[in-house]
Amino acid sequence: MRMPHAYVAMAVACAACGPDTVVEPATVQWLEWPAEILVATPFEARLFLLPPVCFEHSFRPGVTRDDSAVTIAPYYLVHPHEPVCPPLSPGASPGTPPLPSPVRDTLVTMPRLSATSSRSFEMRATATVDPPYTFPLRGGLRVRSFGEVIVRPSDPDTVRRNAGGRVALRIDDQGCARIQPGGLLSTGLEYVLEDQADTTGLMLAFVHGYLHDVTTPVCGETRVFHLESRN
């Protein structure tokens, strides 16, 4: 099991925390990264994260690597002195959770990966084990696989990008099926599904796949999402 090591960075951060700072693990809703990279070269991954609700905070990416995987266990240093949420709307129940802050869409630099020949590394990140958007999170977080990255000594494919995470399904006015990374808390980003007939079970599913260019446009788009799995 590699999961306990994902929280080493958070433990170190906690040791440096002041008396009024709390370390809060972050939920990765969506992750995008190059399908292939050049050996020993840093690369960037795009993350959609849920920030802490109603408190000032600072972000830490929490990236580690070993001989088989890159693990992203991001966290926030939360300063819970003064809540910054607006008051509840009139008529709202006192037990109603405040609306989450907008999803954080950020780029994080991944470490160099070494290899003597072409090989793959697993891309892992912290994700909730609860049904999405359950408040509070009862089941906590676990590290799960989002896919793989291939390390090559030369000539990596720089166009295709792997992606995975929670999505919402949207059918537009023309009947085109699109996924919204991040699920119901998405930032408005959408990708057209390459296979327009394969939409069963996609609402709030956790998916794996990749973004690539197609010769024949799908719903007017040449950059589409190829779905490989869902659960």
pLDDT at position 4: 45
Q: In what order do the strands lie in the sheet with 119-128?
A: 36-38, 141-152, 119-128, 69-72, 63-65
Residue 42's closest CA among 112, 118, 121?
A: 112
DSSP H helix total and E strand total for the chain: 1, 16
Domain ranges of the chain: 3-157, 162-230
Please list, in sequence order, all residues whose beta carbon lies within 8 angstroms of the beta carbon of residue 185, skipping any fewer than 6 positions away: 29, 50, 100, 102, 103, 133
Closest by CA to 24, choosing from 63, 74, 84, 75, is 75
Instruction: Give the integer Cα–Cα distance in Å for 109 and 124.
Output: 14
**Listed residue (183, 178, 169) closest to 49, CA to CA:** 183
**Which amino acid, one-letter code, is at 162?**
N
Position 24 scores a pLDDT of 86
Q: What is the pLDDT of residue 140?
A: 58
CB 147 within 8 A of CB 164: yes
Supply the pTM of this predicted model. 0.82
**Largest interatomic CA distance in the chain:** 63
Flag residues of the chain having pLDDT under 70: 1-19, 54-55, 80-102, 129-140, 186
The predicted structure's pLDDT at residue 23: 87
pLDDT at 86: 55
Look at residue 87 in the predicted model and tell me its pLDDT: 57
One-letter amino acid for residue 190 of the chain: E
Question: In this structure, are residues 167 and 205 in contact, taking their beta carbons and an 8 Å threshold?
Answer: yes
Token representation of residue 120: 């793959």
Where does 153-205 show beta strands of DSSP type E? 161-171, 177-181, 191-193
**How far is 181 from 163, CA to CA, in rounded Å?**
9
